[in-house]
Amino acid sequence: MLYIFDADGTLCDRQSGELLPDVAEKIATLPSDSILTICTNQGGVGLRYWMEKDGFGEPKKYPTESQVKNQYRRIAKQIGAQRVYLSFAYQSKTSGKWGPVPNDSLITPRERDTIWSPEWRKPAPGMLLAALADHNCDKSDAVFIGDSDEDQEAAANAGIKFVHADEFFERR
Ligand SMILES: [Mg+2]
């Protein structure tokens, strides 16, 4: 079984970034042949880039690419996840406009089609489909665990089962 987890609010605390206290115990109960991955929207990276490029807002309030990569690599290590999928694409909540993507001198064509692509930002299914493909997994053998409407929609868009984090980790 391929377990795909959202990160913030599902595996880790939104404010502190620390692993939530009930996560390790539940994950230890999963069958030993389980494959664990993480799919997380990190649009703050895209927003920071937009602010720095166009000179507005407070970019320092948002994380850098390497801060985000280090944070979720650490979480992945703590739960024994094989891979982390990140989405840096940022969409304005007010205008619906997508932020700029770094040009070809800064990112690879592959990064443009994945980590910086709107197709990878949940509720689009790109990250989830990549996790399935990378692990050669049938949709019927995968489940996405998340805590938001966009997670639920992403699972539906990818055609895989969704389980809410509260249910999976038996919270509340
Ligand atoms: Mg979440």
pLDDT digits (tens, 9 = 90+) for 63-93: 999 999 999 999 999 999 999 999 999 999 9
2-168: CATH number: 3.40.50.1000
User: Mean pLDDT over residues 133-158, rounded?
Assistant: 98
Domain spans of the chain?
A: 2-168
pTM for the model: 0.96
6 vs 160: CA distance, rounded Å: 14
Instruction: Please give the C-alpha separations between residue 97 and each of 43, 101, 118, 151, in angstroms, as whole numbers.
Output: 13, 12, 11, 21
Determine the distance separating the centroid of ligand 1 and the alpha carbon of 148, expressed in angstroms.
6
pLDDT in tens, 101-117: 999 999 999 999 999 99
Question: If we measure between CA atoms, which residue out of 122, 115, 18 comes closest to residue 71?
Answer: 18
Q: Which of the four pLDDT bands, split at 50, 70 and 90, describes residue 97?
A: very high
Q: Which residue reads 């692509």 in tokens?
A: 117
Question: If we measure between CA atoms, which residue out of 113, 143, 116, 140 comes closest to residue 46?
Answer: 116
Q: Which residue reads 């320092």 in tokens?
A: 60
* The predicted structure's pLDDT at residue 172: 77
Asked whether the beta carbons of 63 and 77 are under 8 A apart, the reply is no
170 vs 35: CA distance, rounded Å: 21
User: If you average pLDDT over every residue of the chain, what do you get?
Assistant: 97
Residues around ion ligand 1, judged by CB within 5 A, are 6, 8-9, 147-148
Q: What percent of the chain has pLDDT over 90?
A: 99
* The predicted structure's pLDDT at residue 110: 96
* The predicted structure's pLDDT at residue 170: 96
Determine the distance separating the centroid of ligand 1 and the alpha carbon of 85, expressed in angstroms.
14
Determine the distance separating the centroid of ligand 1 and the alpha carbon of 21, expressed in angstroms.
16
The neighbouring-strand residues paired with 103 are none
- 10 alpha carbon, distance to own chain's centre: 11
* The predicted structure's pLDDT at residue 9: 98
